[in-house]
A and B are shown apart, each in its own frame.
Chain A
Amino acid sequence: MVLGVATRNGRHVSEDASGHSPLAIRGLTVSYGEKPVVFSMDATFESGAMTAIIGPNGAGKSTLLKAALGILAPLSGKVTCFGKPLSRQLEKIAYVPQRAGIDWDFPAPVRDVVMMGLYRNLGLMGRIGAIHHEKVMSCLARVGMDGFADRQIGRLSGGQQQRVFIARALAQCADLFLLDEPFAGVDVATEKAIVKILKELRSNGKTVVAVHHDLSTVPEYFDNVLLMNTTRIAEGAAGETFTQSNLLKAYGGALARVQISAAV
């Protein structure tokens, strides 16, 4: 178990630095029935960095995100966002859920979906005005989807759907971006486009955390890595954490060994 957290700059930060972290998770346990999917998880995400959450299928990566956000109720644990309980900091968070769980036949054009990202400004009955329409269009333009504003969401390709979801998250004007498998089922061109947007967010001082599957792109895309399998295996700068021995601890098995040595 790694107690301190090595940062990108090689500084060594103690656990109580979690007070300033955009997202700090302590002792989080989530279980379905009596099987813990995430057990006593600790993680501290570095501000202004891009962190990948990696681990094998069923390791609890998505569950960790959902429980941290309060979408799933954890059995135990504490989650803070910029030093305060996360439930009081939701307006600082943008979230991109998995595309697979969505009914894409839902009656909405692209602009309506991105408008959902403005719910915090609009509230229950707030009138949608010119400012909001402009905001929606500028977020769509950032992901190169402004030409699709009136297209039904069901008539988009997978990569386009994912970019609409990114635009909706951009509309939330957050400091911390949490993405659940943003590259699942999208082509290489879309993946590069999304990475570019995420790196722009980072250079604007935002924090990006993404559940990620493709080991071969981890060092290229991300600054930091959180390696997990039900519990934390390693956490820190990609260069120090994304090692063969750590990956073996997380993935195990002979098949994994081949893939891992190819990845590192």
Chain B
Amino acid sequence: MLIEALTLQLGYNATLVAAGAALLGMACGATGTFLYLGNRALISDAISHSSLPGLALAFIAMAWLGMDGRSLPVLLVGSALSAFAGLHVINWLSAKTRLAEDAAIGAVLSVFFGLGIVLLTVIQSMEAGRQAGLEDFLLGSTAGMLWNDAITIAVGGALVLLFLTVFARPMAMVAFDPEFAAVSGIDTRQTVMITMGLALGVTVVGIKVAGLILIVALVTIPAVAARFWTSRVRYMVVVAGAIGAACGYLGAAISATVPDLPTGPIIVMVAFAAFLITMLVAPGRGVLAVILRHRRFQNRVHVRQGLLALAQGQPIYERLTIRLLRRRGLVRADGVATEKGRAKAAIALLDERRWQILRSDPAHEVAASSYNGLTPLESVLTLDQIAEIDKALRLEAVK
């Protein structure tokens, strides 16, 4: 069943929903990158939670008008209006009062969500409107999704991606350095509004599939994971979009195979798995890579320090140093340098002196910045340059 779901053999509808969820996830991940870069990741949580009262009011309004209360576009418009109101209150609170933005987010999020739950209870006591299914918006669901719903979600996601490609440049500049962006002629207020607007867009469009309680994960986690893989904004947007798409797709497909399994928690679990794998194995910033690199570096530093001590006839106290030197056959068991050890020690000492000269000369700034006590000088300088340095060394010795 799961294999069938993942390979798109669950039937037309489920396939369509999974594809829509993938596009949504891509939009969420890419948008989330800019929220993360601007230190605003939590704003999407506030947006999603404050959409609940609007969702419920839209349902009540449709019921009063005698319509089927489950028309997705109408519900989304209601959600968007109330999420917009929530955003506005947060902005107002943090701009006009002494409240910090995180406190404003917490206050608005909980009040709007509480109001929404009250309204949901009111709806449950109502007779009209076929209320069944409204709770699905809390944790997300793909059950009973129609062709039209999937199209609405896919179009919403695609629109957000389009806006992102147009405004990525100013959005990145404002996230990095808003003052410089302003002097460059970028309307920073407007750019922040666009970023917020896109966050509002993906969140509102996504609440049916991912659920309003947990959609923050689909916006935040892909961006955080992408940061481990790359150190350039443009690649980060792409990687976050890809991780988001995978999360959306897997979440929708898995939840389609198990009846009554909400999509939101599945998406969060998939996103968490992606994050965990990333955190462990990503090259460069990943935990394993950092630990390995640190170990290797530490060993090399110890060997180097040991060699310098040998060259200058100083005693070595650190056990690790002695062990490493012995393993390399540079010292004997009694701590006396071997033939090979003495030769290497002399080279290390000369190299260290050369580096010292290099560091004090601003002309060699680029080369000097690669100094870590271990890099062979030959790898950063030409033979002529080294000869130059040796000349300076000899001059120093004469003094």
Contact = CB atoms under 8 A, between A and B. Distances in A.
B232 A119 contact: no
Interface string B163-197: 00011011001011111111111100000000000
Nearest to A33: B98
B166 A124 contact: yes
Contacts, number: 80
Given A102-B176, A119-B173, A124-B170, A90 B185 contact: yes
Interface in B344-399: 362, 365-366, 369
A97 B231 contact: no
B236 interface: yes
The secondary-structure label for the interface of chain B is helix
A223 to B, nearest CB: 24
Interface in A141-196: 144, 147-148, 151-152, 157, 168, 172, 189
Contacts of A66: 179
Given A119-B185, A172-B184, A189 B362 contact: yes
Nearest to B231: A107
A34 interface: no
Interface residues of A, number: 35
B304 interface: no
Given A95-B180, A103-B176, A147 B37 contact: no
Interface stretch (A43-51, A108-116, A205-213, A248-256): A108-116
Contact of B227 (A102, A107, A124): A107
Interface size class of B (residues with CB under 8 A): 20 to 34
B176 A116 contact: yes
B233 interface: yes
Interface of B: 37, 39, 166-167, 169-170, 173, 175-186, 227, 230-233, 236, 362, 365-366, 369
Interface of A: 66, 69-71, 90-91, 93-95, 97, 101-103, 106-109, 112-113, 116-117, 119-120, 122, 124-125, 144, 147-148, 151-152, 157, 168, 172, 189
Given A107-B230, A124-B169, 14 more contacts: A91-B185, A95-B180, A95-B183, A97-B179, A102-B176, A112-B232, A112-B233, A113-B176, A116-B181, A116-B184, A117-B184, A119-B170, A122-B169, A151-B369
